[in-house]
Structures are given as C-alpha cells and as structure tokens.
Amino acid sequence: MEITENNFGTLFLVATPIGNLEDMTIRAIRTLKEVNLIAAEDTRNSRKLLNAYEIKTPMISYHEHNKWERGSQLVDKLENGVNIALISDAGTPGISDPGEELVRECKERGIEVVPIPGATAFVSALTACGLSAGQFTFVGFLSRLKKDREKALESLKDESNTILFYEAPHRLQKTLTDIKNVFGEREIALCKELTKKHEKTQRTTLSEAIIQTGKEPPRGEYVIVVEGKSEAQLKQSEQSKWEEISVTEHVELYIKQGMDKKTAMKQAAKDRGVGKRDIYSQYLQTSP
C-alpha cells in the first residue's frame, strides 16, 4: 500500500457484513490486513470479524461519542503517512454510522479517501422487497425528538420515490404509526435481520404492520420500505389544496401574477381537474 504524493496516508472506508460474515469481500480483507491502523465503531464487536479472517492490524475506537477528539487524532496520523481503515459495526461507514465528519475533514485537508464497497442494509432491502427501485429516498433513522420527526415526515409525505427508513425493534410500532399519521395508508415492506439466520422480508400495509407489531413484539434490526405517492395521489392532493379557496380567489391569484383572465381561468380549471366552462360559469357568478 503506497503513500500518496503529498506523503499523506489514505483513509479507506471499508464496508463490513451486516450479519453474515461470508459477505466480507476479498478486497476488504486485504485492505484491513495492509493498513497501519483500523478505526472501529466498537472494537469488541469488530474483533470477532478480524479474528475470523486472521487480521492482526491494530485497532482504535472511533464512534459517535468520541468522533471529534478521535477524529482529530486520526487526521493527524493520516497527515503523517499512516494508512487507516474505518469500519462500523455493520455495513458501510458513514451510512447511519460514524464517518461523515472524518471524511469531510480529510477532504478539506487534501487526504485521499478510498471507498471499499460491500454490504449496505437499505440496498439489500430495496432490491428484495419488490417495490419500485428506480428512484428512492434513503432517510435512515428518524430523530427521536417528536418535533423533528414530524417535520422530517411532513417533508417526505408527497415524495413519489420509494422511501427507506432504519428502525430498532423497540421503536418500530411507534415509527410505523408516525409514518401512517402523516403519509396516510401506504404499501410497505418490513425487512428484518437481513443476511442473518432469521432474515425476513414481508410486504404489507402500514395499518396491517401496526396491528402485527402490537401482537408480536418485533425482534432484530429493521429496514422499513415505503411506497412513494402515486401520480394519481399527487394530483388528488394538489386538487384538494385548491379546494380550500374559492374559484374566484383561485382565478384572481393568477391574474395578480400577471396572467390575463382567460389564461388564469384555464390554469385554475387544470389545477382543480374540472372543465373550463365550470370555472368560467362560477367565476362570472361570484366575481366583483
């Protein structure tokens, strides 16, 4: 493993298995053996992985509670030519795990960052659940603060992309309930313990999932995959918004924006999903 032109070391972001140890890649194993130091989210947890592949590289902790102080130390080492691999407890570092701040600092200092790809839970869930995978929005864990959760969900409720959340078992039912309260009924997939012995992917609805998690206490880590809002739902939602104001107010709104009366009525008809004659008739009856 070579030193870079500026004599800095390289930070390698090494993806590790999300459950099944056999998902470790050959490149990831080689990288962990060749670097000078491994920064691990939980050194005790990662020791099992390293022992399984006879990796003897020294480890140091890097987690949510020490990321600022330890991150500074790691950057200093990198600037002194030390090659470091960053690993999380499971999956890809920086995806709902520590790493984002360290990568940002490395980029600002001109330190090379190299991703070593591998397992990521939300990608596995998306490809296996049968919901649309063409376009998607990854959210990860919602905030535990009620106000922030509601704000995040409100910003997503009209999303047409498939939406993916992470959640722990003891908060699963509450999160499903919060999503339904904001999104309304949706088709979803609950994916738990991916790549592990009790792996399961279940297609259901938010309502059914809420009932089920009330009867059977959830176990394992979950990916919640929620269908996006359909084109018909988006159109209906847009039309409902306009029903809150009168036809006259609707047309006058566009006239104030610079449209002539005919164009304004045409646009109002399109917004409301009705014929131009209906708008024309109501506007003439109620306009000043």
Taking the C-alpha atoms of residue 35 and residue 28, their distance in angstroms, rounded to an integer, is 11
Among 91, 84, 87, smallest CA distance to 113 is for: 84
pTM of the model: 0.80
Residue 220 near residue 196 (C-beta atoms within 8 A):
yes
pLDDT mean by block of 10 residues, the chain; 288 residues: 73 96 97 98 95 97 93 96 96 91 95 96 95 95 94 94 97 97 95 95 97 91 94 67 74 79 78 74 66
Contacts of residue 10, defined as CB under 8 A and 6 or more positions apart, other chains included, come to: 1, 4, 78, 83, 84, 111, 112, 113, 114
**Following CA atoms 260, 265, 267, 273 in sequence, which dihedral angle do they give, to the nearest 10 degrees?**
180
Q: Which residues touch 277 (CB under 8 Å, ≥6 apart)?
A: none
The length of the chain, given as a count of residues:
288
Calpha distance 165→263 (Å, rounded): 43
Q: Tell how strand 37-40 and strand 59-61 pair up.
A: parallel
Homologous superfamily (CATH) of 122-229 is Tetrapyrrole methylase, C-terminal domain (3.30.950.10)
Q: What's the pLDDT at 268?
A: 76
pLDDT at 88: 95
What CATH architecture applies to the domain 10-119?
A: 3-Layer(aba) Sandwich (3.40)
Cβ–Cβ under 8 Å, residues 98 and 63: yes
Q: Where are the domains of the chain?
A: 10-119, 122-229, 232-286
